[in-house]
Amino acid sequence: ETAIGRGAVSVAYAAVDLARAVFGDLAGLNALVLGAGEMAERVLEHLHHYGAGEVWVLNRTLANAEQLARRYGGRACGMEHVAEALAHADIVIASAAAPHYVVREERVRAVLAKRERPLFLIDIALPRNVDPAVARLAGAYLYNLDDLETVAEKNRAARAGELPRVERIVEDELAGWLEWYAGHVAAGRIRRLRRWIEDALRRELEAGLGTAAVDDEARARLLHRLVGKTAHPLIRMAKDPQLGPALERLLEG
């Protein structure tokens, strides 16, 4: 009912959200994810959710890349295939644990020289996976964690703006539930009260009438009238949120 669940707050979501802001629709766009850790998995989850096209997962340990690729319908390769993967990619999201640049300026320059479409790169790794010199290449658009913080901050502000509406919805739902619960409790209390009164009056009638010639139907009608008259003020008490619990204790005793 609200936009509270929308927007990039996590780094992985912010990265994919930034790609969506640039391209509008990720359908049919090829993505390259560097790394196979938790961050890469979150990125793949969001790419899959938003319908990205072919997704390559590159990692130093191929088995880890294969595990993620199977889960999200991607293609797994070792890091030695980075040049080939870059050639296919429209979007690169880098989150590998590496002590050096995985995507170097000369590799990106060579890829761009053979095609006309641009390459969009988001580096969310620490230390960085993408050589900052890539940003100076025509046709390459490089973003890093500082850029994502701007996106995340914007979405946090949007979520904060939704809080009053969320609070109103929660309050309305809670009020409705409390009203139902109070009625449910009172209804059970009233049923127990009527049974208690009916049992008490039946015992008194049987003791008073004894073997008098009063048929069962007449006894039942008399009992029903007596219960109705006796129970009326007590039923109002049963519905009262303060007096009701005291009556409950009386019935249990």
CATH 3.40.50.720 boundaries in the chain: 11-143
Q: Return d(Cα 203, Cα 206) in angstroms, integer.
A: 5
What is the rounded radius of gyration, in angstroms, for the C-alpha atoms of the chain?
35
Interstrand relation of 91-94 and 75-78 (parallel, antiparallel or unpaired)? unpaired
| Fold classified for 11-143 | Rossmann fold (3.40.50)
pLDDT over threshold 70, residue 125: yes
Q: What per-residue confidence (pLDDT) applies to 196?
A: 72
- The tens digit of pLDDT for each residue in 127-162 reads 999 999 999 999 999 998 877 777 666 666 666 676
- What is the average pLDDT score of the chain? 79
Find the farthest-apart pair of alpha carbons in the chain and give their distance in angstroms, rounded: 112
pLDDT tens-digit map of 200-220: 677 766 666 555 555 667 666
User: What pLDDT is stored for residue 155 in this prediction?
Assistant: 67
163 and 4 Cβ atoms separated by less than 8 Å: yes
Question: For residue 188, is pLDDT > 50?
Answer: yes
Question: pLDDT for 153-178, tens place per residue?
Answer: 666 666 667 667 656 765 666 566 55
